[in-house]
Amino acid sequence: MSTLDHRWRHGLSRRQALLSLAGLLAGSPLLRAQLDPRPLKDHRRVPGLDEMLSAFDFEPICFANMTLRNYDYMAHGGDSEFTLRRNREAFEWVQLVTRPGVSADGVDASTEVLGVKMKYPIFIAPSTRQRDCHPDGDAGMYQGATATGTPMIVASGSSVPIQRVAEAANGPRWSQFYPIENLTAAREQLELFQSHGARAIVVTVDQQASNYERDLHNRNLGAAPRPAAGRGGGPPNRRTATRGPAQYGADPRRFWYSWQYLDEIRPFVKGQMLVKGIVTGEDAKICVEKGIDGIVVSNHGGRGLDYEPSTLEVLPEIVDAVGGKIPVLVDSGFRRGSDLVKAIALGAKAVCLGRAPRWGLGAFGPAGVQRLLEIIQAEFREAMASTGRTTLAALDRTAVRTNFP
C-alpha cells in the first residue's frame, strides 16, 4: 500500500475528528446528567458499499473522504452557479410516459457509438484531478468503468500518466484534448494519446469563461489560491500583457482559437474526432460541415459561463440541426438512469457522466465506480421498461412529455 493510499484509507477526516470529539464529550463527567444511553458516535456510521441505493448516496461519503478544497473543485459551478442548478432542474421539465407490458429483463439497452459497442449508452466524461478522489485516480476510474463495460474518456489533464491509465484495464477508451496554441505541442499530445490506445479524440471547446467564487469564498478554509490568471487572479498578466486575452485579465489559455483550429489539428487525429461543448444548433451544424465525427452537448457541468441553458433543454434543437448525420452525445447534470432515458428519448445517442462516477471513486475507489454505474444501469433498464420500450431505437420523443419554460 503506497503512503498516499495509506493516508487516504486511515487519515483522520473532519467527520471522524468531530465524532471523536463528540465521543470525548459524551464520556466526560461534565455530562453525567445526560440520560441518553447512546452517545452520538453510536448513532452514526458510514454506510457500506452494499447499502448504496442511488448515485446520490455516494456523494456524502466521497465528501467525507476529501478535503474541502478538493471537494469544492469538483462540485463548483461558475459565478452564481445558476447553470449548475439548472442542469438538475431541467429533469423536472421532462416527464416519462409510462406504457405497460414490458419487463426490465426484456430490455436491450445496447448501442454502438463510432465503432464502440456498449451494453448501455453511457460514457465516463473526461475530468481532471481524479486523484483528489482516490490515490488510483484515473486508473481506478478506468478499472471501475471497464468492470461494467463503460467506455471512458480520459482527460488531457489526467492525474496519473496516460501510460498508467492504459495499463489499468482494457476497455474502450477515448482521450479528451484542450486546444493548444502551439501546433507542434498539440500534435505531440495528440500522438501521445493515440499511441496509448485512444480510439477517438474529444476536443473540448467550451469553458472559455470560468470563474469559481465558491473556492474564493473558502480561501480561509484551506481552498487553493486561484491560479495566476483569470478574473480574480488576473493582475500579474493584466499588467504585463499587451495582446491577447491576458490584457483583459482573462485566462490566457482561453479565448484565442477559432473554428479554423479544428481544421489545423484534424491531420493529427488518425481516428475519429469529436467536439465537446456545443449548446446551439448553429454550432452543431458547423461541426457537421467541418466533417467532425460526433459532438458532445455540454456546458461543462455548469463550470463554464454561468447562465448558459441546461443541456437537456437545448438537446432537441441540436439533434434536429444535426439530422442524424453524426452522433450527438450529451452531459451535465446526469445522475439517475431515468435522467439518461430522457436524453436518449430526446435524441441523444449516449450520455457522459462527470461528477457521479467521481463520487463512486471518492467513496469506495474502483469498486465504488463499478457499483455506482451498476445502479445507474439498473435504473436505466427499469425506466426504459416502464416506458414500454425494449430497444434504444424505440425510445423516441413519444416516450417523454417536455415542459421547458
Ligand X SMILES: Cc1cc2nc3c(=O)[nH]c(=O)nc-3n(C[C@H](O)[C@H](O)[C@H](O)COP(=O)(O)O)c2cc1C
Q: Give the residue numbers annotated as catalytic, written as ranges.
A: 300
Residue 373 identity (one-letter amino acid): L
- Give 123's strand partners: 352
Q: What is the DSSP letter of 123?
A: E
Residue 53 identity (one-letter amino acid): L
* Region of 104-112, 191-199, 209-217, 353-361 interacting with ligand X (CB under 6 A): 353-361
- Whether 356 contacts 123, CB under 8 Å: no
Closest CA to 123 of 143, 156, 151: 151
- Whether 328 contacts 297, CB under 8 Å: yes
Q: Interhelix angle for 311-322 vs 337-345, to 10°?
A: 30
Residue 299 identity (one-letter amino acid): N
Q: Looking only at residues 269 through 288 of this chain, which bind ligand X when binding is defined by CB under 6 A?
A: 276
And the C-alpha cell for 263? 481544421
Size of the site for ligand X (CB under 6 A): 24
Q: How far is the CB of 8 from ligand X (least distance, A)?
A: 17
Q: Looking only at residues 4 through 63 of this chain, which bind ligand X when binding is defined by CB under 6 A?
A: none
If the CB atoms of residues 83 and 386 are measured against ligand X, the closer one turns out to be 83
Q: Residue 338, interface with ligand X (CB under 6 A)?
A: no
- Whether 288 contacts 322, CB under 8 Å: yes
If the CB atoms of residues 358 and 389 are measured against ligand X, the closer one turns out to be 358
- What DSSP letter does each residue of 318-331 carry, written as one string? HHHHHTTSS-EEE-
In the bound state, the residue with its beta carbon closest to ligand X is 354
Q: How far is the CB of 185 from ligand X (least distance, A)?
A: 17
Q: How far is the CB of 205 from ligand X (least distance, A)?
A: 9
Q: What stretch of H or E contains 163?
A: helix 162-168
- Whether 151 contacts 174, CB under 8 Å: yes
If the CB atoms of residues 310 and 386 are measured against ligand X, the closer one turns out to be 310
Q: How far is the CB of 324 from ligand X (least distance, A)?
A: 23
To the nearest 10°, the Cα dihedral for 289, 150, 172, 162? 100
Which of 336, 355, 371, 389 binds ligand X (CB under 6 A)? It is 355
If the CB atoms of residues 365 and 389 are measured against ligand X, the closer one turns out to be 365
Coil vs helix vs strand at 75 = helix
281 CB-contact burial (10 Å; exposed 0-12 / middle 13-18 / buried 19+):
middle
Q: Residue 323, interface with ligand X (CB under 6 A)?
A: no
Q: Residue 77, interface with ligand X (CB under 6 A)?
A: no
Q: Residue 189, interface with ligand X (CB under 6 A)?
A: no
Q: Residue 211, interface with ligand X (CB under 6 A)?
A: no
Q: How far is the CB of 248 from ligand X (least distance, A)?
A: 23
If the CB atoms of residues 248 and 255 are measured against ligand X, the closer one turns out to be 255
Q: How far is the CB of 123 from ligand X (least distance, A)?
A: 10
If the CB atoms of residues 331 and 379 are measured against ligand X, the closer one turns out to be 331
Q: Residue 78, interface with ligand X (CB under 6 A)?
A: no
Q: Looking only at residues 115 through 174 of this chain, which bind ligand X when binding is defined by CB under 6 A?
A: 125-129, 155, 157
If the CB atoms of residues 278 and 385 are measured against ligand X, the closer one turns out to be 278
Q: Residue 234, interface with ligand X (CB under 6 A)?
A: no
- Whether 94 contacts 346, CB under 8 Å: yes
- How many angstroms separate the CA atoms of 277 and 352, rounded? 12
Q: How far is the CB of 68 from ligand X (least distance, A)?
A: 14
- List residues near ligand X by CB under 6 A: 73-74, 87, 125-129, 155, 157, 176, 204, 276, 298, 300-301, 303, 331-334, 353-355
